[in-house]
C-alpha cells in the first residue's frame, strides 16, 4: 500500500507582524512596538504543521520572485515544494496585528495565491489525502475537491473554509465531495446562517448550530465536522456520534493565537494520515477520533504560548516531553 501522503493546495504568504498594545479601532492611529516578517499563508502553515507532526506532505501553490525564500524555508522544515510555482506577480501578504493579550486581526493581500495555475486532469496517485483552505482561487478549490473523488480509491478530502466563502461560493460548493469540514465557531455559525437562511442567536450552543448545519438541504450529512472552540476545546460530529474534547491545560500565559487554528488542522490531518497507514478511511470510530483530537488540541495549546505562526508550531516530539 502507498504510504499515506497529503497534498495541500493552499496559500503561501509573506506575513508582516505589527505588535500593538491593543487592536486598532476604526478611525484610530496607534504605534506598533515591533515589526517582523515571517513565512505564512494557511496552506504553508498547515503543511508545516503536518510535517512537524510526522506526516508526509506536499504543498501546491505559487509565489512571486519576492517569495523564493519561502520555498527554501519550507523545504528545510520538511515540506515538499516541488509543486510550488514562481509566477510574475507579488507574493501574497498578510498584515497581522498582534495585541498584548495575544488576540490578532489579519488583512490578506492574495497576490500570487490568486494566480491562475494550470488545473490538472487528475491527481497524482501518491496522494491519499487532500487539504484545502479558502486563500486561493475558489475555482481551483472546487476543481481539486472534485478530482479527489474521481481517484480510485477516492482521496480523503478536508476543507478549512477560512476566510469564510461568500454566499455564492457556499451555494456552489460541492459538499457531497467533502469528507471532513474543519471550522471554528464563527465559521460554523456563518456557514449555518448562509445554508439555512436563518439568523443564529449569539448564545446558541455549538451542538445546535452543527445540527442545523447538518440538516440544511444543501449540506451533505455524511461530512464529518470538527469545530474548534478556543479555550473550550473542540466539538466533533460524525455519523458515529458527537464528542467534546476539552482544551489542553496550559503551562503558561497565552501569547499569540495567530497560528493555533492552522496548527490544530495540521496535527489533525497528520492524525488522519497515521490512522490510514493500513487502510484509507473517510471516517473514524469515536475513540480513534478522540485520540487524534486530544493530540491536536495539545499541539494548539503549545502553539498559543509562543510568538509567531510557523515558528510557534511544535513538533510531535515536543508533545511527549
**Binding-site annotation, residues:** 13-15, 41-45, 135, 184, 228-233, 256, 258, 261-262, 303, 306, 308, 312
- CA 301 to chain CA centroid, Å, is 16
**Binding positions for substrate:** 13-15, 41-45, 135, 262
* d(C-alpha 304, C-alpha 311), whole Å: 11
Neighbours of 159 (CB within 10 A): 23
Task: Round the CA-based radius of gyration of the chain to a whole number and report it.
Answer: 19
Q: Can you name the residues that pair with 61 across neighbouring β-strands?
A: 84
* Alpha carbon distances (Å) from 12 to 8, 40, 110, 215: 11, 6, 9, 35
CB 270, CB 54: distance < 8 Å: yes
What torsion do the CA atoms of 133, 138, 143, 147 make, to the nearest 10 degrees?
20
Catalytic residue among 66, 124, 203, 262: 262
262 carries an active-site annotation? yes
Distances (CA, A) of 49 to 177, 243, 312: 24, 24, 10
- Which cell numbers hold the place of 285? 470510530
Cβ pair 55, 21 in contact under 8 A? no
**Residue ranges at the known binding site for ATP:** 184, 228-233, 261-262
C-alpha span between 241 and 212 (Å, rounded):
15
Pick from 218, 228, 43, 213: nearest CA to 141: 43
Residue 227 in contact with residue 212, Cβ under 8 Å?
Answer: no
- Residue numbering of the annotated binding site for K(+): 256, 258, 303, 306, 308, 312
Helix (H, G, I), strand (E, B) or coil at 237: strand
List, by residue number, the catalytic residues. 262
Amino acid at each position: 500500500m502507498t504510504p499515506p501522503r497529503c497534498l495541500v493546495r493552499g496559500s503561501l504568504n509573506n506575513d508582516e507582524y505589527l505588535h500593538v498594545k491593543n487592536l486598532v479601532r476604526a478611525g484610530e492611529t496607534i504605534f506598533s512596538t515591533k515589526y517582523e516578517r515571517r513565512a505564512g499563508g494557511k496552506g504553508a502553515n498547515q503543511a508545516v504543521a503536518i510535517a512537524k507532526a510526522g506526516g508526509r506532505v506536499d504543498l501546491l501553490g505559487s509565489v512571486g520572485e519576492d517569495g523564493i525564500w519561502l520555498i527554501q524555508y519550507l523545504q528545510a522544515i520538511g515540506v515538499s515544494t516541488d509543486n510550488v510555482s514562481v509566477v510574475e506577480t507579488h507574493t501574497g501578504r498578510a498584515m497581522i496585528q498582534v495585541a498584548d493579550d495575544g488576540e490578532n486581526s489579519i488583512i490578506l493581500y492574495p497576490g500570487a495565491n490568486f494566480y491562475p495555475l494550470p488545473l490538472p486532469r487528475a491527481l497524482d496517485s501518491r496522494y491519499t489525502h487532500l487539504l484545502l483552505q479558502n486563500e486561493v482561487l475558489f475555482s481551483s478549490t472546487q476543481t481539486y475537491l472534485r478530482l479527489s473523488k474521481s481517484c480510485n480509491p477516492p482521496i480523503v478530502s478536508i476543507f478549512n473554509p477560512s476566510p469564510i466563502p461568500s454566499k455564492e461560493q457556499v451555494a456552489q460548493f460541492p459538499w457531497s465531495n467533502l469528507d471532513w469540514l474543519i471550522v471554528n465557531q464563527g465559521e460554523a455559525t456563518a456557514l449555518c446562517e448562509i445554508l439555512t437562511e436563518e439568523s443564529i442567536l449569539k448564545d446558541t450552543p455549538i451542538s445546535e448550530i452543527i445540527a442545523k448545519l447538518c440538516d440544511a438541504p444543501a449540506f451533505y450529512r455524511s461530512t464529518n465536522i470538527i469545530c474548534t472552540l478556543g479555550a473550550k476545546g473542540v466539538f466533533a460530529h460524525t455519523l458515529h456520534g458527537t464528542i467534546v474534547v476539552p482544551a489542553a491545560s496550559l503551562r503558561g500565559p497565552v501569547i499569540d493565537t495567530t497560528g493555533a487554528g492552522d496548527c490544530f488542522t495540521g496535527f489533525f490531518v497528520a492524525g488522519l494520515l497515521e490512522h490510514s497507514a493500513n487502510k484509507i478511511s473517510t471516517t473514524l470510530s469515536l475513540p480513534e477520533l478522540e485520540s487524534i483530537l486530544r493530540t491536536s488540541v495539545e499541539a494548539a495549546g503549545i502553539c498559543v504560548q509562543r510568538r509567531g505562526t510557523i515558528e510557534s508550531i511544535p513538533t510531535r516530539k515536543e508533545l511527549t516531553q
